[in-house]
Structure 1
Amino acid sequence: MNENMLKHDWTKEELLAIYNRPLMQLVFDAATVHRQWQKPDEVQISTLLSVKTGGCPEDCSYCGQAARYHTDIKVQALLPTETVLAHAQKAKDAGSSRFCMAAAWREVRDNRDFDRIIDMVKGVNEMGLEVCCTLGMLTESQAQRLQEAGLYAYNHNLDTSEEFYDEIISTRKFDNRLETIKHVRKAGITVCSGGIIGLGETIDDRVSMLRSLANMEKHPESVPINALARVAGTPLADLPRIDIWEMVRTIATARIVMPASMVRLSAGRIEMSEVEQAWCFMAGANSIFTGERQTLLVTPNPGVSEDMQMLKNLGLKAMVLEKKEACAN
């Protein structure tokens, strides 16, 4: 299987037809594609650390880190570099092969905090981990600095469809998301971009979001599929839990249309049973996120030992990086 076999001109009708296949057929088809393109018994363990928490000026309706919402989340300034590197080493020792650093910023600014992020990236890269950041919007020159420091991946989710986007966020536009992804790609950094389901969107919205990703000139190397983690005090706190079969359908569709990508089962796992997560793996998910203190950024998440036991129960194993190419020039 190679890049030339990938399709980049999906129609909405084609994706809807895939999403709406009978469930058993859809999961079988996705599992077949998964086995053709991926190692079906491997799951990448990725650790996500909030290096700067809360106080964000954005108004993302799902996010407890937005300053305008009254939540119980404690604002935390940018962590010291040595603290972050200690977390990264601990994550590596626990079996993670990717370490992601998140800062609750609207956009990166060229200041001392960004200089410290650069130092963190260099340090994690030297550990032999895939290092990922999610810092908000980036300029072309900022993306280049991150690449030169050794950044492997940059996360910037589309969140939802272009059509539904303004219902969820008003402080930036869907095109701003695409612009940052373009800067990341131009700098030679791999792209991590996916979305959230359970925001009140329609099936058409989910399919439209996946179509935006699958029709990029190059598919994102990583596609996180998040279930809404409801945070008290946010506008979406009272929405119902997304049905697990909708999660499975979204993952399966992502796997079929972006077969070479890592499909990451991300936020919302705390509300999923082991059986429900197993269905997601069967449908093509091959990565999970862990976080220290059983949190994923600011929401509850299964613990590392619990995740490792689940993988053992399912006959899966943590992915081990054979060789990580240095990202720095």
Structure 2
Amino acid sequence: MTTERDNPGFRYPLRWRIMDALESALAVIWPRRFSRYTGWVLLMPALLLVGILVLGLVQIAGASLHRLDTSTYLPSAEYTLANYQTIIDSATYTRIMTRSLWGAFLTVVFTLLLAFPFAYILVRTKRAWTRKLLLILLFLPFFIGQVVRAYGMLIIMGSSGAVNEMLGLVGVAPMRLLFNFPAVVFGLVQYMLPFAVLMLAPALTAIPRETETAASSLGASWWRSLWHVVLPMARPGLVGAGLVVGTLALTDFAMPAMLGGGSQDFIANAIYDQFFRTADQGLGSALAMVLVALGSVLVGIVIAVFGTGTLGMGGRK
């Protein structure tokens, strides 16, 4: 390394001096003998956030065991499972849970069907301008909030919106496109699509182009190569994308509230109603714990059947 003493004409850059000073200060604060603990120290902020989440879940679990006292509108002192019994006995909550699970499943299916071709073209295209255009289309929704996008769909799919106007041009009468279950699923798919593409793109990038070329040289058509070679090799990405999309859809609040019009609530909407409309924190906490349990069970089943996918950090499946 060239120094000022070796070369009088050389000037030690200021940024190097700053880095040397920071390194010396760090050596005093964190000596070299503590270096084996450096990873844990860097992990502490993340562990702190997870700890706060766990603490909140513990408090919610405790609150779910206290029923609302209608005489004082305060949680009762005794512990009881009455809130969970209310959920089990209620046909309304059974319908909400069924709708949430079915909506999450449909969202995963339609999102993966749309995300896979998008990610495949994004990874395999040789034209730079096509890749840039697809990247712009992919990242543009991230600059628009979920609520704004939902309002946009309310305008486009309304009774006098662009979709019904286009249908009117071909002689189709205006249709009710909003405030129903398909509208909620459509909104969730539109919202989850970028997440699925981002999960699938690395998995498809890891598949060498030569693999498809070899399959073609052995007589396989493009469709057979895609079905028997690319899709099986892309399974980790499909599993990871499905897990992310499914959990986000199951716990979503904005799309069912805005595109469902109050008649297509998911579990998150029911939790909101109990906390902020009826002030029944016990029942709301019980619903929150049921949501956590449902999500955990579904994730466990998927991991047990299909593996961890790209969420496995490269581990053996």
Shorter-chain TM-score: what band? Answer: under 0.3
Structure with the higher fraction of residues in helix conformation? 2
The two structures have a TM-score, normalised by structure 1, of 0.20
The two structures have a TM-score, normalised by structure 2, of 0.21
Structure with the higher fraction of residues in strand conformation? 1
